Structure formats: C-alpha cells, structure tokens
Structure 1
Amino acid sequence: MGYAVVLGEALIDLLEEDRDGELIYRQAIGGAPLNVAVGVARLGGAVQYAGSLGTDVLGDRIAAFLAEAGVGERGVRRAAVPTTLAVTTFEGAEPAFTFYGEPPSYALLGPADLDRDILAGGEVLYTGSICLLREPFRAAARQAWSGFSGLRVFDPNVRPRLLPDAAAVTALRELVEEFFATADLVKLSLADAQLLYAESDPAAAADRIRSLGAAAVVVTCGARGAHVAAADGAVSLPAPSVRAIDATGAGDSVMGALVSRLLAEGRPAGLDDWQRHVRFALAVAGLVCERQGGATAMPTPAEVTARWGEI
C-alpha cells in the first residue's frame, strides 16, 4: 500500500465548553487537513502532511502530535509567526469557527517549499479548506495538484465567517471549481453546497459538480447520511444512529476514511465500490460524533469494528 499526501492547514481549536456553570475554552489540535491526515494514519494508512506551522510552543505541540499520530512531516515548513487560533462555538453538536492570527500560520507554505519527492511518490493527494483562501498556499496547492499523477481528492470545507460578502463567495466558487474539474473525488457537506450554489438538494449539487469534471462526488448531510454520485449512477446512504456530543471533525473523518480506502484498494471501479467506502466512512464519522471532536477523536480500525462490527 502506498501513501497519501495531505496538503493544508493545521492550527489550534479553542473549543467552547460549559464546566461547572463556567464557560471555558478547551485547547485542541485541529484544522481540517490535519484531521484528515490523522484520520488516515489512525485507520492504518501511510500519510505525509505538507503545510506550515508556527515556531511557537503551539506549533511545537502540533508537530509533536503529528509525530505521535504516525503522520509523516517531511513536507512541513516552520514559520516564525504565532499559531492561528480557531475559536469554536456550538449550536447543539454543530461547531462554528472564528479565526485569529495574522498572517495565518497555516497558509505560509509556498510553491518553493513543496517536497517534489514526496509528491512524486504519493498515490493520493488531498487538498482543500481555508488555506486556499490565502497566498502563498493557494499557489502551492495549484502547483501540487496540477502535477500530481495519482488520485486527487478535494474538500472545499467552506467557513462562512471567512467570506464577508457575495463577491467573496463568488471568488471561492470559481477557485474550488478549478479543483473540482480534475478531481477523482470531491467530498463536501450539504452546508457547503448551500453556500456555494444555494442548493439544498444533495443530488443536484453532486450532479452539478460532476458536470464540471469530477469523477465522483460525496455530499455529506449530517445525521441524514450522504449522497454518492459516480459515472455509473448515484445513491443516498443513511448514517448510523448515534448519540452525538460533538460533530467537530466528523466531515474530516469521512474524508480520512475515504482516503484510507483509496490507499488500500486503489481507484474504485464504480458506484458499488464507492457505496462500500462511504458506508465505512459514515460509520467512522458516527463514532467521531460520539466523542469530543477534533483530531483526537479519529478512531482506529479496532475501535470501528468494536462499535459497528465488520464493514
């Protein structure tokens, strides 16, 4: 089995929490791409993370966490800036994010920082998320994506609070559609589809993205499950029933699970393969939702089997 390259942000989440009647913020290592990388590693896949980390104590903690999780760090650049903080508030189990730190420590990887050997040897490349909103990371992602010969997977991971007006939404739509056009897999949430396309029907959103060139599209719909569209058909799959306490990182765990399956089995032959992979990914996400979220909630294969049996 080969390895995946995960290209994107790592930061510190400050998670709002009520403790004995007092509102506090619990520190957690996060960032959607970091969560994906850790999810792949926890599920037994080999993965290299490529991104920028601050040189402060929080950046050191992220680097140590990646190493402990078994994520390769050859693609990491350290930058002499404070680590970005994502203050995370909740409506029920669903998180909302506000970001602090300028320049953002997570977006300072440029084209010259890319490790060409890592990219040349990878079987799957993931990118996406908020790092694409900033240079020089955007240029690095475009360069890595255009030259990659393996499977390319993308998640827009839209954060509305970083999009101040309609012009910003339009610019993001045009940007992500560059990646959609040549993606082997696009994974996005229904909330992403609603913001990008004012589209509340996951099937219509998937069809639109496939028409741009994406080979397969998975639209996650929270507790409703996911819609999967491939060249030979489409289907909606239910999510397992869980007692969710924190959905932070659930979508990232779906992508981590899908990447792990792509590493293990290669390019899917069609919708039947995608269905198997997405059922597994929804089970992984269900388990993540039953834990305090983020990278530390990503499960191992043994934990998935213990909770759901063989999938």
Structure 2
Amino acid sequence: MGYAVVLGEALVDLLDGKYDGQPVYRQAIGGAPLNVAVGAARLGAEVEFAGSLGDDVLADRIADFLTGAGVGRRGTVVRPVPTALAVATFAGAEPDFRFYGEPLSYGLLGPDDLDVPLVEGASVLYAGSIVLLCPPVLAAARRAWTLATGLRVFDPNVRPRLLPDLAAVAGLREVVAEFVATADLVKLSLVDAEVLYGDNDPEAAAGRLHDLGASTVVVTLGSRGALVSTAADPAPVRLPAPVVRAVDATGAGDSVMAALIADLLADGLPADLAGWSDRVGYALRVAGLVCESPGGAVSMPTRAEVAARFPD
C-alpha cells in the first residue's frame, strides 16, 4: 500500500458561533493539509504530515490530535512561536477565514528541514494550500516535488483574503502552474478557478489545467457535486453530490482529496475515466458526511461510518 506525505499547514480554527445566546468562538484543529492527512488516515491510509508547528499549548494539541488520528509526525518541525489562528465566520454552511499570527507558525518549514528519505519513499506526495504563499515552505514544497518518486497530488486551496491585489493573484497563478505541470492529480474548487482564472466554468477550468500538464483533474462544485476529467479522456464527467443535512462545509473539499489519496494508496491509479468517476463519487459521499458535523478535521469519517451513512 505504501504511505502518503502531506506537506502544508496546521493551525487552530476559531469557529464563530453562539452559546447561551452569547457570541463565542469554538476551537478546532485545522489547516487544509492537516484535514487531508487526518481524513486519509481515518479512511485507513498510512500518512505522514510535513509542516511547522509552534511551541505553545495549542501546538501540543495539534500534535496530540495528529497522533490520535494515526498521522505520523516525522516530517514536522517545532519553532519557538505561537500557533497561528484562522477565525471562521459563516454565511450558511460556508466558512470565511481570516488568518492571524506573526510570524505564521505554519510558514516556517524550509527546504533543509525536509526528511529526504521520508519524501523519496512516499507513494503519494500532497502539496498545496496557503503555505505556498510563505517563501520558506514554497521552497520546501518545490524541493519535495522534485524528490518525489511516487504520485504527486496538488490542491491550490485558494484563500482570497490572503491575496490583497491582482499582483498577488498573478503570482499565485504562476506557482500553481509550476506544480500542476507535473501533477498526477489536481483538485480545485470552482471558487479557486474563479479567483485564479476569472472563470466559473468548471469544464473550462479542467481544460486549462490539462493544458498546463495535469493528468487528472477534479473540480469540486459544492452542493452540485464535482467534475472529473483525465488527459487521456478529457471529456469531463459531472457527478452529483449526495443530499445531506449540511451544517458546516469546513473541510469538505479537503475530505474529497483525503478520500482520493486513500484510494490511490489502496488501489493505485484508476485504469480509466470510469474508474476515476467511481473514486470521486465515493469522495463526495465522504464530503457529504463531513458537512453534517461542525468543524473540519474532527469531522473526518471512517470507511465504516461512510458505509453506514450511505448504505447503497
């Protein structure tokens, strides 16, 4: 089966809510790559997380959470800084994040911090998300990408709040193109496509990524499901999302990537687009279950829980 290395950020989400009629923030372990790592582990995959943590009590909670979820920490480093926070407010089930921390605890993994044998031995390497806006981690991700001998999977996970102007968007677009060029699988949301390319057409977004070099592309469409296409068979297939009682979409897209990584480790690359469609269909069921619980990483289900919720 092998293992996956997930490179990216770990932080603490503060989720806006109410208790006894008063506004409160509920604490949750977060960060899109951390969600991916935990989600894949809960689905039975062997996963190692690579990233930087602070040295405070919140960082200890992150480390304990990873260990409890069965995620290895051989690729993590600790820095003498407080843990970065992501404050999430909601319009319906969709979160809007603002990030706090100086320096950002998740942005301090450099290329010399990489566990080279760990990265080289991985069957799957994941990179992406907001750490690509941090120069040290971008350099580390670039090095890991060149060291990888297994499958490379990428998710830009764009956060518009971190892109203050058109120059910042253009810079991220160039970075995305660099990783997509040699990616075996790229997942992005339609919101990502709109920010990066000004395009809300998922078929066009998938075609653009194939033109850049991506082998397989999955575009998530929220409650409308997802689209999947391959370079060998670029006519996209749209898959519906299951009907669920959504209360919090935090981590839903990450759970799609988690499920795809877990299945890549278990069964390798699908033979054709039909095989990818089956995988994405399952990943959407995982995401649907995540949406029915508050929080991101804490909501990642096991395969047994997915089967119980969607017995068909």
Normalising by structure 1, we get a TM-score of 0.98
Name the structure 2 match of 1:72: 72
Say yes or no: does 1:7 pair with 2:7.
Answer: yes
Letter in 1 for 2:285: A
Letter in 1 for 2:111: P
Q: Distance in 2 between matches of 1:120 and 1:78?
A: 22
Say yes or no: does 1:282 pair with 2:284.
Answer: yes
Q: Offset of 1:273 from its aligned partner?
A: 1.2
Name the structure 1 match of 2:310: 308
Unmatched runs of 5 consecutive residues or more in structure 1: none
Name the structure 2 match of 1:187: 187
Identity of matched residues, %: 67
RMSD: 0.7
Q: Distance in 2 between matches of 1:103 and 1:138?
A: 16
Name the structure 2 match of 1:62: 62
Letter in 2 for 1:219: V
Q: Distance in 1 between matches of 2:149 and 2:50?
A: 17
Letter in 2 for 1:243: R
1:13-33 deviation line (CA, Å, top 9, x unaligned)? 000012222111000000000
Stretches (4+) displaced over 3 A: none
Determine if contact 1:157/1:192 at 8 Å carries over to the other structure: yes
Determine if contact 2:121/2:149 at 8 Å carries over to the other structure: no
Letter in 2 for 1:254: V
Say yes or no: does 1:39 pair with 2:42.
Answer: no
Determine if contact 2:187/2:218 at 8 Å carries over to the other structure: yes
Q: Distance in 2 between matches of 1:197 and 1:181?
A: 16
Q: Distance in 2 between matches of 1:268 and 1:86?
A: 36
Q: Distance in 2 between matches of 1:168 and 1:237?
A: 33
Q: Distance in 1 between matches of 2:72 and 2:209?
A: 32
After superposition, where does 1:121-136 map in structure 2 within 5 Å? 121-136=121-136
Q: Offset of 1:73 from its aligned partner?
A: 0.5
Name the structure 2 match of 1:255: 257
Name the structure 2 match of 1:243: 245
Letter in 2 for 1:245: V
Q: Distance in 2 between matches of 1:172 and 1:21?
A: 41
Aligned length, in residue pairs: 310
Q: Distance in 2 between matches of 1:121 and 1:145?
A: 12
Letter in 2 for 1:249: G
Q: Distance in 1 between matches of 2:236 and 2:190?
A: 16
Q: Distance in 1 between matches of 2:160 and 2:240?
A: 26
Letter in 2 for 1:91: A
Q: Offset of 1:117 from its aligned partner?
A: 1.2
1:269-306 deviation line (CA, Å, top 9, x unaligned)? 22011101100000000000001121000000110000
Name the structure 1 match of 2:275: 273
Unmatched runs of 5 consecutive residues or more in structure 2: none
